[in-house]
Amino acid sequence: MKYLGDRTRDNRALTKTDYEKLGRVVGSITKRANQEYDQLVKENPAYENTVRQVMLRMISLQGGELARRQVLKSELVYSSQDENNRVKTVIERFSQARLIVEGSNSEGEPYVEPAHDALVLGWVQLREWKGKDKENLDLQGRLTPAANDWNKDQGNLWTEEESRLSRLRSVINFEQNWLNKVETDFINKSIEEKRKRLAENEQQRDEALEGQISALTALSEARFQDDQLGALIHILKAARILQQLRNSESQWIQEDIRLRTEVVLRQILSKVKEFNRLEDKDIPLSMVSELSFTSNRAILLLDSQGRFVKLEFTTDQQLILMRDSQRIIRFWQSDGTLVERIPPGFSPVKSSSDGQMIAHFVYRTSQSQQEPKANAIRLMNLEGKQVILQKDERDNLMTFAFSPNGQFIASGGWFGELYLWKTDGTTIQQKQTGAGSLNAIDFSPNGDKFATGSRNGEIRLWDQNGDLLRTIEAHRDAIWGVSFSPDGETLASVSTDTTVKIWKTNDGILLTTLNGHRDKVGAVCFNSDGQILASASDEGTVRLWRPNGSKLKGLDDHHTGSVYAVRFNPKQPMIATTSGQGQLILWSQDGRLLRNWEKGHNGTITALDFSPNGRMFVTAAGDREVKVWKLDDDKDKQDFHAHNLGNHTGESHLPTVFGVSFSSDNQTILLGSGSPEGKGYLELCDSESMSCRIIREYDYQVLAVCFSPDGQMFALGKGDGSVELWRKEEDNFKLLRNFNQHDNLVLVVCFSPDGKLLATGSADKTVKLWQIDNILNNTNSITVTPTKIFAHTDQVTAVRFSPNDDMIATASNDKTVKLWNLDGNLKKTLHGHNDQINALDFSTDGQTLASGSNDKTVILWDLKLELGLDQLIDYGCEWISDYLTNNPNVSESDRQLLCLENFPNLKYDSQKWI
C-alpha cells in the first residue's frame, strides 16, 4: 500500500504500472468497493442506482479502453433532493474509503474522480454497468458538455437532434434515470423549443391553408353568376381543405372560417343548375347551330348527294346531337362521353314524332353567297313521296319544326315571315311578324301552341292556327333557340345576350335566368323527361343544366331584398314569402315560382298568415295597409286577389300592424299594431265583412299576436317585454293574465299544435316556454315561471313548433336556426344564412323547415337529411362527378376533389413532443 501514500507524484492515483506491481493489492481495492457498495444498498436499495450513476460518470471510453474521468460536483446535482442526498453520501463514503478523491480544477470548481485505475479497470460491478449502459455512456458523453455549455449560455439547444432527443425523452420518463439536473433541464428545454418550433410551423401551414379556404370561398361567390361549375369546384376545394384540417384535428381552425365555408357551400348547392359541360379537346367546337336529344337508336343523316344515311347506336340512353359551323356532327352522352364524331358532308334531318315523315332544308347557292341559304323545306314520307314547302324563294328560311301530331310544320324566315303549312303542302298561315328575322321555333308537347324567337329579342306564343296569344319581351338581343319542356309548362330561350332563360308558358313569367355562357347562345333543348336542359354557345361549349336544381332547395331567384315573412299553406303545397318593399311571392313546395306580385304592398310586408283552410292569407306592411288575399272560386284559375281589411288602407296617421293571426274557424283575424308614438292596439277583424274593432289600447306597441290552435285563446307580446293571454267567453275574449318575464321587446308569440305550450321570443336573446295550465292555475301569483329557456346570441326573431310537437325551431339575428327538444336540449344548429333571419315555418308534414333572411334567400331545410360538411361535400362531388371525370379540359388537381384519399390527414409532429 506504499503507493497509496506517495504524495510526491503529480497524479495521486495509481497508474497501470503501479497496478501491475501491486498484484494482489488490486483485489483488496475492488473488494473494498464491493463492501462499500453492498453496505449502502443494504441501508437503502435506492443506492444501487445512485452508486451506478455516480461511478459511470467517472469513466470514459478512450480508444476502446476505460479511463478515469474528473467529474464536476455540479454534474452530480439531480432534480430529486433525495437523490442529491444519496449522491453526497456516496461521495463521502467512497472518499473515506480512498476509492475516489476530491479536488478543485483551475477555475476553482470542485470535482471528484476515481482514486485508482484499478477501480476503473478491475471492479467487475463497474464493468458490468458499463457493458449494459454503453449506448447511454456514448450519449452522455455528447449530452453532458452540450448541456453544460447551454447552462453557461455558450451553447444551443438540441432542437435539430431528433433521434437523440427521442432517446433522451424515453430516458427522462423513467423515475430512476441517469440524467442530472442540468441535463434534464437541457433536454426539457430542447423538447419544449422543438415542439414550439414545430407547432409554429404547423400553425403557419394551417393558417396558410385557412387563407386558401377564405380565398377559394370568396372566389366561389364571385364566380357563381358567370361560372357555376367553376364556383362549385372552388368551394369544394375549400371544403376539402377544411375537411382535411378537421380530420387532422387541427387546433387552429377558426370557427368563422368553418361556418362561412359550410354556408357558402350549402348556398351554392341550393342554387346550382349547371352539372356538366361538353367540350371536344381534339377538335374544339365552333358555333353550334343544331342541338337536340335523340329520340331513338336509329338516326337519319343526309349526305352531300341528298341521300339518307342511317346511324344505329346500341345504347338506350338519349344522346345529344349537335352540329357546328365546321359541319361536324357529334353525338354525346349526358355524362360528357363523346360517342361519335361525324366528319363534314352530312347534315341532320328532323322527323315527325311518329317517325312517318322526315324533313330538311333545301339550300340554294349563288356566286355572291359564301354560304348556301335555305329557301325551302323538303318533306318525305316512308314511301318516298315528297313535298317541297316554299313561299318566297328570296326568303332565307331560318328554322322549322314539326307539330307533335306530325300534321303541321311551322317555319320562320329572315324577313320575319311566319309560315304554317300542313304536311301535304297546303298553306295554313303566312304572316309578317315585324320582329326581324324569325330564328327559332318549337311546338308545345300537346300541339295547342308554338313559340317563336326573333331578332328583336321577343318570344311570341301562337295557337295552332297561327294566331298570336302572347308576346314576351325576353332578351336584349336576338333569340336563336326556343324549346318547350316535355310537360309544356315552361319554355327555354337563348340569345346573343349570352343568357338562357326559362319562362312559364301560361302567363309568360320569367322563372330563372341561367348565366355562364361567354358568347352568343345559338341553340337550346330539353331532354325527354325535362330533367336536363342543353344550351350551346359560340364559345365552343355545350352546357348541361338541371332546371329544377339540386335536392338542396332554396327560394332566392326572385326576391328583390330582405325576406321578412315565410309561411306554408296548410292545405296546398304552396309557400308564401315577402321581400323588399312590398314584394309578395307564391311558390310551389318544390321551389317553383307560382306568382310574383312585385308590389303586393307599397312598403315592407313584415306579417303574413294563412287561414287554416288555405284559401286566404293576410298580409300587413309598413305602408299601413292590411290585406286579405282570397282564392278565386274558379278552381281553374287558382289565383288570389287582395281586399283591404278594416280601415287599414294606407293613410299616414294609421298605426303599423306588426302581427296577424287567423282563428281556427277562418272567420276572425287578430291584429297587433303600434303607432309612431309608441301606443299599441289590439284588434279583432271579420274575414267576411272585412270590418275590424279595437278591443284594447296600450301604452306600448303590440308586436306579436297568435291564436291558439282551437281558436279559444290568443296571446300577444308587447314592447315593454310583457305577454298577455286572452280566452274566449261566449262571443267575446277576456284577458286572463298579463305577465312580464322578458327584459326587452317581445317579438314572437307561438302556441304548440296541441295548445298546451306557449313560446315567447324576445329582443333579450331568449325564448321562453310556458305551460298554459301553469298560467291559468296561478292567476293569483304575481309572477309566472317559464318551463324552459332557450338562448341565442342576438335577438330572437322567429319561433315555430313542429307539427307533431316534438321540437321547437328558433331563429335570431345571430344568423342561426336552432332546433330544440321540448325538454330544453339543443338538437342541432343550422348554419346557412349570411345575415339575420327574420322568419321560420314548418311544412305541414314537419319534414321541411323554411327560413327567410336579410340575405334575400329562403332555405328549405330537409330535416330528414343529415347535411354536415361531409355530406355537403359528398353531394357536391356527386353533382359534378361527370364533369370532373369526363371533361377533357379539367385539370388533374380538380379531378382529385372526388376522392377524400387525395386529402390525407396532416402531420402534427409537435404533438409527439408534448
CA 392 to the chain's CA centroid: 58
Determine which helix (DSSP H) or strand (DSSP E) holds 775, and give its type and residue range. Answer: helix 772-777
Other CB atoms closer than 10 Å to residue 656's CB: what's the count?
21
Residue with cell 274558379: 634
Same domain, 589 and 633: no
**Helix (H), strand (E) at residue 476:** none
CATH for 727? 2.130.10.10
Strand order in the sheet with 746-751: 746-751, 757-762, 766-771, 788-791
Whether residue 117 sits in one domain with residue 31: yes
What is the grid cell recorded at 128?
A: 458490468
Residue 570, amino acid: P
Burial group, residue 914, by CB count within 10 angstroms (0-12, 13-18, 19+): exposed
State whether residue 1 is helix, strand or coil: coil
274 belongs to a structural domain: no
* Alpha-carbon span 179 to 500, nearest angstrom: 77
Sheet containing strand 510-514, edge to edge, reads 479-484, 490-495, 500-504, 510-514
The DSSP code sequence of 43-95 is: H-TTHHHHHHHHHHHTEEEETTEEEE--EEGGGG--S-HHHHHHHHHHHHHHH
Domain count, the chain: 3
pLDDT of residue 127: 86
In the chain, the amino acid numbered 827 is: K
Cβ neighbours around 63 below 10 Å, total: 5
For residue 727, report the phi and psi dihedrals to the nearest 5 degrees: -135, 145
Query: Does residue 739 lie in a domain region?
Result: yes
Q: What is the pLDDT of residues 537-595, one digit of tens each?
A: 998 899 999 998 888 888 888 999 999 999 999 999 999 999 999 999 999 998 889 99
CA distances from 110 to 78, 96, 113 (A): 16, 17, 11
Domain end, chosen from 549, 579, 597, is at 597
Residues 6+ apart with CB under 8 A from 882: 275, 276, 334, 335, 336
In 220-297, the DSSP E strands lie at 274-278, 288-293
Question: What's the Rg (C-alpha) of the chain?
Answer: 44
Type of residue numbered 796 = V
Q: Give CA angle at 758 (757, 764), nearest 5°.
A: 140
Domain match, 324 and 469 both: yes
Q: Are residues 782 and 836 in the same domain?
A: yes
Whether 265 is in a domain gets the answer: no
Residue pair 504/547 in contact (Cβ under 8 Å)? The answer is: no
Hey, what's the torsion of the CAs at 511, 516, 520, 524, to 10 degrees?
Answer: -50
Residues 414 and 553 in one domain: yes
One domain for residues 610 and 524: no
Which residue do the cell numbers 346500341 mark? 314
609 and 581 fall within a common domain? no
Q: What residue has cell string 450513476?
A: 53
CA-closest candidate to residue 702, choices 686, 678, 684, 685: 678
Q: Which three cell numbers stand for residue 160?
A: 435539430
CA 294, 299, 304, 307 torsion: positive or negative?
negative
* Strand ranges across the sheet with 288-293: 288-293, 320-324, 329-332, 338-342
How far CA 195 is from CA of 190, 191, 199, in Å, comes to 8, 6, 6
Cell numbers that stand for 736 in this block: 286572463
Residue 478 is which amino acid? A
Q: Are residues 550 and 407 in the same domain?
A: yes
The answer to the question of residue 201 being in a domain is no
Residues 416, 338 within the same domain:
yes
Can you tell me the distance from the alpha carbon of 486 to that of 404, in angstroms, rounded to the nearest whole number? 11
Residue 566, beta-bridge partner list: 577
In a domain, 251, yes or no: no
CA–CA separation, 45 and 58 (whole Å) = 21
E strand or H helix at 103, and its extent?
strand 100-104
Q: Which domain holds residue 789?
A: 605-869
631 forms beta bridges with 640
Q: Write down which residue in 156, 180, 197 finishes a domain.
A: 156
Cell of 606: 313584415
Is the Cα dihedral 829, 835, 841, 847 positive or negative? negative
Question: Which segments of the chain have a pLDDT < 50?
Answer: 1-12, 14, 19, 367-369
Alpha-carbon gap, residue 708 to 669, rounded angstroms: 12
Tell me which H or E stretch contains 308: strand 308-312
Q: What is the grid cell recorded at 132?
A: 449494459
Q: Cell numbers of 614, please?
A: 288555405
Same domain, 651 and 565: no
Query: Is residue 463 situated within a structural domain?
Result: yes
Same domain, 339 and 415: yes
The label of the residue with cell 330539353 reads: 526
Considering Cα of 70, then 74, then 80, then 85, what sign does the dihedral take? positive
Cα separation, 555 vs 857, whole angstroms: 6
Looking at this protein, which amino acid is placed at residue 757?
Answer: L
- How many angstroms from the chain centroid is the CA of residue 904? 20
CB 854 within 8 Å of CB 812 = no
Q: Is 603 helix (H, G, I), strand (E, B) or coil?
A: coil
Residues 6+ apart with CB under 8 A from 385: none
Question: 534 and 510: one domain?
Answer: yes
Q: Which of 156, 187, 212 is the last residue of a domain?
A: 156
Could you write out the DSSP letters of every residue in 558-601? S--S-EEEEEE-SSSSEEEEEETTTEEEEEETTS-EEEEETTSS
Contact 157, 190 (CB under 8 A): yes
Give the count of beta carbons closer than 10 Å to the beta carbon of residue 332: 22
For residue 662, give the nearest of 699, 622, 614 by alpha carbon.
614
Sheet of 616-621, strand order = 605-610, 616-621, 625-631, 640-649
Q: What DSSP letter does each residue of 801-841 carry, written as one string?
A: E-TTSSEEEEEETTSEEEEEETTS-EEEEEE--SS-EEEEE
Strands 408-413 and 816-821: unpaired
Q: Which residues, in sequence order, are CB contacts of 477 under 8 Å at separation 6+?
A: 457, 495, 496, 497
The C-alpha atoms of residue 449 and residue 466 are separated, in whole angstroms, by 8
Give per-residue burial for 894-903: e unless 16+ CB within 10 Å, then b. beebbebeeb
Residue 754 has which C-alpha cell? 296541441
Cα–Cα distance, 524 to 501 (Å, whole number) = 10
Q: In this structure, is residue 702 part of a structural domain?
A: yes
Q: Which residue has the cell 363523346?
A: 338
Torsion of CA 26, 28, 32, 38, to 10 degrees: 100
Classify residue 893: in a domain, yes or no: no
pLDDT number for residue 498: 96
In the chain, the amino acid numbered 772 is I
What length does the chain have? 914
